[in-house]
């Protein structure tokens, strides 16, 4: 059988919550041996091993327990680093150096090591100590302000998109650093800023603001820069059911009119050009809304798509779980967790033609790999391990 | 390989053909910024994505799209009509010397043109081919027309963003394209590692819709674990633990339940804690039941302050709070300045420079990052066709005349 792409790579994972664990999950999904360093006192709240949230971001990983406040624990950690390829951490910038485990120190044990530090605003600069969560970084980076109906009422996302973006950049930077290491044998330190990751997702708005000195305002559901009309979200029949329609070209407008049965209003002069349709957007949207309100979102969209118009159903979590399109790509899979039982999870939005997926495992229980790592990998004696457990070092 | 091989970044020497429109050109920009040699292949006259706004002011050029500029930095540009037989033949000549192709044609379209993965991987069995489309190469919706709005709706982003009393709200600025591009770059790097192991190429199939669904963080986790269909609830976030509140000079994003006692003390020193010091509010369950009251009291307090006053004190006390910043304010961030996040690039055709957002990470290797702007249509035709493919000057002129390039 073909081995997984990243099989043979070992990752020491000090990350918590989402952004960091999402980076290491990507590596684990593709066969890297990811060893998550936990401790009983840290594994609480959403970092507790049997919460669904923890399970989502830590599948395919192993778990060991080390209380890093003990110098003995940090010595063991260094031994593990020595036989690993990658270290990932997302503590506040001072934590690793306070433990005397910064890159300069780790490199002494392992010259080819790739270390990724993920933090709110990066390891240097006036805001290096920024305390941040995904949603607040989205605000700092401009995404909350822009994702709103108007600038007087910032809305933003209902979820920590910034953590996912940051996690993806983490995976990309590690994979690229591995390419570099393969070519010239050099290890790497990577200092990733979640704030900057957010900024990259509004690049054009930042250039528009900086170069043109334009005051950028939120656009709601309209893409001001690709003028379309109608273009937006329309109510359909049923409770909180909606569809989106985006008309850009004259052809698309004509197709829409014919799907609607060329009603008299559509032939009015004011709707005969894009500029006119934009100018009379409110009346236009009312007409479209009257048409969509009487039908299901699925019906509206099927009719429009058949006529070559970009339209979509606003899907909720239940729709996604039952979506035939996602099912066709086996986007969701089921894992068997020792405590939570069968649990469904998303995979990733990439399909490989040749590469076969090796079997996946649910997330680990706390310290599930202690024997494997301390005995088998590090060759520690049973009595030594027992003594470390008694002292609370392996805990 | 020698160290100097990676002068321009980790991917120096990687050869990429970019046939992508605006939905995935950011994926090859990521590769180009890491040193890969990315050639953007456009139809004669240039890709339609060169017309997407916002546009650069004060630059006298027919096309001056900011999104195009941003997503195509550090690439070379050639023009080629892939519908023309001569164009196809030239394209086939480029394939053997290519590691990666990224394309965004509708499923089946390249096959009709005889330029699909199966056909071209016979010319280069190590070829890595990434197809980015709205819904993927298979499935009932594969031929649906897509835009960022459509992908955001189908992917589940819109339903969970916005106000319950208003329509679902799309995220700003083509996020489905960025998400899919990040996954495409990840996929390409994975396929490269696999190729190093097995010697074979790969066809990667990336869906915009699935990329949106894959970045919903808690939404599917909670549905599968608890059956919760998450509803939009403005800035409260999933756990109702966050809210955006007004200050004298703008808005601040605060947490509602962290360090509760410290927060109440802070308000009390200003005489603005109202009844929140009462013992009953120590119970988080009670606070959640009476969330509206907590927000009302906090709002009265934040409106008495500037953003700066609250943000700086909050950070000192380690509350993960942040101002709601506009792009104009982000441009002046002292942190981004200190980290040299913006890279100055020359904009061809004018003496001006453009501050462009750079990479969100710094690396320990000393790299001479390139700072080229996006190419003009066919800017590197001479270089690629004459010098590399060895076409004669006469031949090249003929191709221009027939509108092949």
CATH of the domain at B383: 3.40.50.10540
CATH number of the domain encompassing residue B249:
3.30.1540.10
Please provide the average confidence, as pLDDT, over all residues in chain B: 94
CATH architecture designation of domain A231-321: 2-Layer Sandwich (3.30)
CB within 8 Å of chain A, chain B residues 272-331: 315, 318-331
Record: contact A242-B153, CB cut-off 8 A: yes
Token pair of B5, please?
């091989």
Domain final residue pick, B263, B293, B325:
B325
Select the residue of B148, B192, B237 nearest A135 (Cβ to Cβ): B237
Question: Residue B195: which pLDDT band, with cuts at 50, 70 and 90?
Answer: very high
Do B21 and B162 sit in the same domain of this protein?
yes
CA distance B112 to chain A (A): 19
CB within 8 Å of chain B, chain A residues 291-350: 305, 308-321, 323-329, 331-332, 340, 343-346, 348-350
Whole-angstrom Cα distance, residue B79 to residue B381? 7
Whole-angstrom Cα distance, residue A23 to residue B117? 29
Q: Give the number of domains in chain B.
A: 2
pLDDT digits (tens, 9 = 90+) for B239-252: 888 999 999 999 99
Q: pLDDT > 70: what percent of chain A?
A: 99
Record: contact B228-A317, CB cut-off 8 A: yes
pLDDT digits (tens, 9 = 90+) for B54-73: 999 866 666 689 999 999 99
**What is the longest distance spanned by two Cα atoms in chain A?**
89
User: In the predicted model, what is the mean pLDDT of residues A281-306?
Assistant: 97
Record: contact B189-A316, CB cut-off 8 A: no
Domain final residue pick, B303, B325, B347:
B325
Question: Residue B349: which pLDDT band, with cuts at 50, 70 and 90?
Answer: low
- The residues spanned by each domain of chain A are 10-201+359-391, 231-321
- Strand segments, DSSP code E, in B69-215 are 76-79, 100-103, 128-133, 202-207
Question: Residue A355: which pLDDT band, with cuts at 50, 70 and 90?
Answer: confident
Given CB atoms, is A263 within the 8 Å cutoff of chain B? no
Is the pLDDT at A2 greater than 90? The verdict is no
Task: Flag whether B235 is in a domain.
Answer: no
* CA dihedral for B323, B329, B334, B337, sign (positive or negative): positive
Given CB atoms, is B70 within the 8 Å cutoff of chain A? yes
Contacts of B211 (CB under 8 A, 6+ apart): A349, B151, B155, B176, B179, B180, B182, B183
Task: Flag whether B236 is in a domain.
Answer: no
Whole-angstrom Cα distance, residue B325 to residue B47? 33
pTM (global) more than 0.90: yes
* CA dihedral for A285, A290, A292, A293, sign (positive or negative): positive
Contacts of A299 (CB under 8 A, 6+ apart): none
pLDDT digits (tens, 9 = 90+) for B16-49: 999 999 999 999 999 999 999 999 999 999 999 9
Question: Residue B5: which pLDDT band, with cuts at 50, 70 and 90?
Answer: low
Q: pLDDT > 90: what percent of chain B?
A: 88
Record: contact A157-B138, CB cut-off 8 A: no
Given CB atoms, is A231 within the 8 Å cutoff of chain B? yes
Whole-angstrom Cα distance, residue B267 to residue B299? 11
Domain final residue pick, B325, B350, B381:
B325
Distances in Å between the alpha carbon of A345 and those of A52, A336, B214? 10, 11, 10
Shortest CA distance from A334: residue in chain B: B224
In which domain, by residue range, is B262 found? 242-325
Do B90 and B208 sit in the same domain of this protein?
yes
Is the pLDDT at B3 greater than 60? The verdict is no
**Within this chain, domains A10-201+359-391 and A231-321 share the same CATH topology:** no
Is the pLDDT at B146 greater than 50? The verdict is yes
Select the residue of B322, B331, B362 nearest A210 (Cβ to Cβ): B331
* CA dihedral for B315, B318, B320, B321, sign (positive or negative): negative
CATH of domain A10-201+359-391: 3.40.50.10540
Contacts of B351 (CB under 8 A, 6+ apart): none
Is the pLDDT at A387 greater than 70? The verdict is yes
Q: Is the ipTM of this complex over 0.90?
A: yes
pLDDT digits (tens, 9 = 90+) for A269-279: 999 999 999 99
Do B314 and B343 sit in the same domain of this protein?
no
DSSP 8-state code for residue B351: S
Record: contact B213-A320, CB cut-off 8 A: yes
Do B246 and B150 sit in the same domain of this protein?
no
Do B287 and B180 sit in the same domain of this protein?
no
User: Of the candidates B168, B181, B171, which has an alpha carbon nearest to the alpha carbon of residue B208?
Assistant: B181
Cβ-Cβ contacts under 8 Å, A125 against chain B: 334-335, 338-339
Provide the pLDDT for residue B1.
37
Torsion of Cα atoms, B29 then B34 then B39 then B43, to 10°: 0
Counting one residue from A and one from B, how many pairs have CB atoms under 8 Å apart? 492
Whole-angstrom Cα distance, residue B279 to residue B271? 17
Given CB atoms, is B405 within the 8 Å cutoff of chain A? no
């Amino acid at each position: 059988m073909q081995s997984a792409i990243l099989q043979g790579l070992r990752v020491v994972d000090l990350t918590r919550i989402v952004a960091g664990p999402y980076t290491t999950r990507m590596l684990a999904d593709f066969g890297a041996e990811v060893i998550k360093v936990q401790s009983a006192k840290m594994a609480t709240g959403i970092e507790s091993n049997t919460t669904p949230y923890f399970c989502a971001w830590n599948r395919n990983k192993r778990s060991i327990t080390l209380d890093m406040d003990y110098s003995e624990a940090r010595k063991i950690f260094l031994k593990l680093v020595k036989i690993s390829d990658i270290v990932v951490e997302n503590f506040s910038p001072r934590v690793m150096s306070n433990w005397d485990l910064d890159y300069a120190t780790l490199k002494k044990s392992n010259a080819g090591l790739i270390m990724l530090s993920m933090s709110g605003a990066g390891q240097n600069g006036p805001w290096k100590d920024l305390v941040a969560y995904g949603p607040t970084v989205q605000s700092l980076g401009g995404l909350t302000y822009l994702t709103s109906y108007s600038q007087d009422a910032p809305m933003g996302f209902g979820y920590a998109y910034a953590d996912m973006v940051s996690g993806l950049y983490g995976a990309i930077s590690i994979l690229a650093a591995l390419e570099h290491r393969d070519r010239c044998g050099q290890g790497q330190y990577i200092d990733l800023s979640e704030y900057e990751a957010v900024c990259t997702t509004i690049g054009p708005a930042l250039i528009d603001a900086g170069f043109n000195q334009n005051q950028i305002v939120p656009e709601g559901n309209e893409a001001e820069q690709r003028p379309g009309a109608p273009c937006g979200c329309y109510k359909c029949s049923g409770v909180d059911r909606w569809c989106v329609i985006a008309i850009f070209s004259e052809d698309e407008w004509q197709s829409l009119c014919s799907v609607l049965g060329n009603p008299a209003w559509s032939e009015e002069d004011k709707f005969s050009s894009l500029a006119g349709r934009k100018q009379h957007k409110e009346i236009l949207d009312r007409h479209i809304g009257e048409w969509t309100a009487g039908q299901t979102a699925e019906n509206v969209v099927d009719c429009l798509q058949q006529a070559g118009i970009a339209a979509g159903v606003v899907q909720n979590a239940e729709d996604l779980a039952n979506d035939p399109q996602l099912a066709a790509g086996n986007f969701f899979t089921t894992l068997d967790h020792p405590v939570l039982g069968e649990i469904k999870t998303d995979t990733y939005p990439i399909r490989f033609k040749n590469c076969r997926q090796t079997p996946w495992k649910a997330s680990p229980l706390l310290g599930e790999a202690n024997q494997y790592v301390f005995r088998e990998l590090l060759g520690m004696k049973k009595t030594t391990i027992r003594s470390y457990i008694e002292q609370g070092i392996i805990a | 390989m020698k160290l100097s091989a990676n002068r321009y970044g980790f991917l120096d020497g990687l050869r990429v053909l970019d046939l992508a429109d605006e939905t995935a050109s950011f994926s090859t920009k990521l590769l180009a910024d890491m040193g890969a040699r990315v050639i953007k292949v456009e139809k004669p006259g240039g890709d339609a994505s060169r017309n997407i706004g916002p546009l650069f002011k004060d630059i006298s050029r027919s096309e001056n799209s900011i999104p195009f500029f941003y997503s195509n930095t550090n690439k070379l540009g050639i023009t080629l009509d892939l519908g023309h037989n001569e164009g196809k033949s030239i394209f086939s000549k480029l394939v053997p010397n290519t590691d990666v192709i990224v394309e965004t044609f509708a499923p089946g379209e390249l096959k009709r043109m005889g330029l699909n993965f199966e056909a071209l991987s016979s010319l280069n069995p190590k070829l890595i081919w990434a197809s980015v489309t709205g819904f993927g190469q298979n499935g009932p919706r594969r031929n649906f027309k897509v835009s960022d709005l459509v992908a955001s709706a189908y992917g589940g982003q819109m339903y969970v963003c916005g106000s319950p009393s208003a329509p679902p709200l799309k995220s700003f600025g083509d996020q489905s394209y960025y998400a899919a591009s990040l996954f495409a770059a990840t996929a390409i790097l994975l396929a490269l590692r696999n190729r190093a192991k097995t010697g074979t190429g790969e066809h990667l199939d990336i869906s915009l819709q699935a990329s949106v669904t894959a970045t919903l963080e808690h939404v599917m986790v909670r549905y599968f674990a608890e059956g919760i269909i998450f509803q939009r609830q403005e800035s409260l976030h999933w756990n109702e633990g966050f809210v955006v509140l007004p200050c004298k000079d703008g808005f601040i994003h605060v947490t509602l339940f962290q360090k509760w006692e410290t927060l109440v003390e802070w308000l009390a020193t200003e005489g603005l804690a109202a009844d929140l010091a009462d013992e009953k509010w120590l119970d988080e369950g009670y606070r959640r039941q009476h969330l509206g009251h907590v927000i009302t009291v906090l709002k009265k307090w934040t409106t008495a302050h500037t953003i700066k006053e609250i943000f700086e004190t909050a950070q000192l006390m380690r509350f993960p709070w942040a101002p709601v910043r506009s792009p104009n304010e982000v441009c002046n961030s002292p942190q981004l300045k200190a980290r040299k996040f913006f890279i100055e690039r020359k904009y061809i055709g004018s003496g001006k420079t453009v501050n462009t957002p750079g990479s969100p990470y710094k690396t320990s290797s000393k790299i001479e990052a390139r700072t080229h702007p996006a190419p003009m249509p066919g800017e590197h035709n001479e270089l690629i066709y004459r010098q590399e493919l060895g076409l004669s000057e006469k031949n090249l002129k003929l191709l221009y005349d027939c509108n092949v390039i």
